[in-house]
């Protein structure tokens, strides 16, 4: 297989630790990949005002097969402008419309719910990634006065809703999953919810082999914390998808364990752990690298590799079973030691 070219953007905070940790594991897997590093981050922005160069997105799409990103967010940049331009820039400008967030429990000990076993937590959240309030349409009027008005529009397009719902059904077929559940708040947000409801019914009718279900997002949160075994594929909008995937991360052992991909089939896609830059954890060698390592495996799989991601996933499972993990998930190892253990396990597989 031709060498896969990967753009690496560690970003801020613990991104600078978990990304090198994951790269070490990918290298140990023998995957034929070539990394090119980019320093787009708060540090870079504070140094010369650059968030991402003007031709950055076109260059990524042209020169790379995938992007591997850590996290963006730094208290020294309170506007979060660099995160907005780099992270949301990639999602929006590269049109990475499907945010795929697998939710898989590796070991019973990691789940905060009693009696829940690994086979009970195995679903995928497909989050719309280019619309909703995230597009930041709106404004303020009479700012700073008692009459201030702020609006934040929730943008939902027919095209955007249809393609994410179709993506969810296609993913269900590819992964041999049986159910797609759409979650919204159509009992209150009737305009946007109405569009989602209509399109979901239309698309579901084309996939008679897959069961189509619906749940309001508030009820979904309750069910996720009580009976996660009922879920298979969940499709939802950008904002609800963001919120429920932090909850779903908790089912897996916490944010340090959760992986994700920002995908547009056929285009250069971006892979990042679900967690953020966790500033209080940064530079202490305590961040859990497993979310990033599992994300790297997901990226390799997306690029058509099979052996290498399988080996990485198996090694992660062994690390969890043998308690070669960081303190957030009950272990005693540091970020680097966990990654070294997993890399060693991968290279011996
Ligand atoms: P966060 O995910 O950075 O951290 C929340 C908490 O989760 C941490 O305090 C820690 O307890 C735990 N945690 C997260 N990752 C962990 C890891 N790898 N190992 C162990 N524990 C981990 O969320 P936050 O504190 O709300 O946000 C911090 C900054 O990150 C903000 O600037 C935010 O905007 C940004 N952020 C960026 C991304 C991204 O770039 N994809 C995602 C989420 C948040
Ligand atoms: C995520 C993050 C981002 C989001 C932030 C940092 C913009 O929370 O990837 O889940 O809200 O999408
Ligand atoms: Mn989030």
Q: What is the pLDDT of residues 300-324, one digit of tens each?
A: 999 999 999 999 999 999 999 999 9
Average pLDDT (202-223) is 98
The architecture CATH gives domain 103-263 = 3-Layer(aba) Sandwich (3.40)
Atom in ligand 2 nearest the alpha carbon of residue 71: 6
Mutational pocket test of ligand 1: of 271, 277, 294, 316, the residue with most ligand atoms within 8 Å of the beta carbon: 277
Give the predicted TM-score (pTM) of the model.
Answer: 0.98
CA of 82 to the centre of ligand 2 (A): 13
Q: How confident is the model at residue 1 (pLDDT cuts 50, 70, 90)?
A: confident
Q: What is the pLDDT of residue 48?
A: 96
For every residue of 106-140, DSSP letters joined together read: --GGG-SSTT--GGG-EEEEEEE-S-BGGG--EEE
Q: What's the topology of domain 1-97+264-349?
A: Isopropylmalate Dehydrogenase (3.40.718)
Query: 349 pLDDT exceeds 90?
Result: no
Residue ranges of domains in the chain:
1-97+264-349, 103-263
101-104, Cβ contacts within 8 angstroms, sequence gap of 24 or more: 101/125, 101/126, 101/127, 101/241, 101/245, 101/248, 101/258, 101/259, 101/260, 101/274, 102/259, 102/260, 102/298, 103/228, 103/231, 103/245, 103/248, 103/249, 103/251, 103/252, 103/258, 104/252
Return the bridge partners of 247, or none: none
- The answer on pLDDT for 110 being more than 80 is yes
- Residue 220 Cβ < 6 Å to ligand 2: no
10 Å CB burial of residue 180 (0-12, 13-18, 19+) is: buried
Q: Which residues are catalytic?
A: 134, 185, 218, 242, 246
Atom of ligand 2 nearest to the CA of 91: 12
Task: Name the residue at shortest CA distance from atom 42 of ligand 1.
Answer: 276
CB 100 within 8 A of CB 66: no
- The b-or-e profile of 4-28 (16+ CB within 10 A means b, else e) is bebbbbbbbbbbbbbbbbbbbbbeb
Q: Closest Cα to residue 343, out of 321, 322, 314? A: 314
Assess whether the region 1-97+264-349 and the region 103-263 belong to the same CATH fold: yes
d(CA 18, CA 325): 13
CA of 275 to the centre of ligand 1 (A): 5
pLDDT for 223 equals: 98
How many residues are present in the chain? 349
């Amino acid at each position: 297989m031709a060498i896969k070219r990967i753009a690496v953007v560690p970003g801020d905070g613990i991104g600078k630790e978990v990304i090198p940790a994951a790269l070490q594991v990918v290298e140990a897997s023998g995957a034929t990949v070539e990394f090119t590093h980019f320093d787009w981050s708060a540090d870079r922005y504070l140094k010369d005002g650059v968030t991402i160069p003007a031709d950055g997105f076109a260059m990524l799409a042209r020169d790379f097969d995938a992007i591997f990103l850590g996290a963006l967010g730094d208290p020294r940049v309170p506007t979060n402008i660099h995160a907005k331009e780099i992270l949301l820039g990639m999602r929006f400008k590269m049109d990475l419309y499907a945010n795929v967030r697998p939710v898989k429990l590796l070991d019973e000990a990691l789940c905060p719910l009693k009696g829940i076993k690994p086979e009970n937590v195995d679903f995928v959240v497909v989050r719309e990634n280019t619309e909703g309030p995230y597009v930041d349409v709106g404004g303020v009027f009479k700012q700073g006065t008692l009459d201030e008005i702020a609006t934040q529009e929730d943008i939902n397009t027919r095209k955007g809703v249809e393609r994410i719902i179709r993506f969810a059904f296609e993913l269900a077929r590819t992964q041999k999953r049986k159910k797609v559940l759409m979650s919204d708040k159509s009992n209150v947000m009737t305009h946007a919810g109405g569009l989602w409801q209509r399109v979901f019914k239309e698309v579901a009718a084309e996939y008679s082999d897959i069961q189509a279900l619906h749940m309001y997002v508030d009820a979904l949160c309750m069910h996720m914390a009580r009976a996660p075994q009922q879920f298979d594929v969940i499709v939802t909008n950008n904002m609800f998808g963001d919120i429920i995937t932090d909850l779903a991360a908790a089912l897996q052992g916490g944010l340090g364990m959760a992986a994700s991909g920002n995908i547009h089939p056929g285009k250069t896609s971006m892979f990042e752990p679900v967690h953020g830059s966790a500033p209080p954890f940064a530079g202490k060698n305590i961040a859990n690298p497993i979310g990033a390592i599992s994300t790297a495996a997901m990226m390799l799989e997306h690029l058509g590799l099979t052996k290498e991601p399988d080996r990485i996933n198996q090694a992660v499972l062994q690390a969890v079973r043998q308690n070669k993990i960081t303190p957030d998930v009950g272990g005693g190892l540091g970020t680097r030691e966990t990654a070294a253990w997993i890399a060693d396990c991968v290279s011996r597989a």
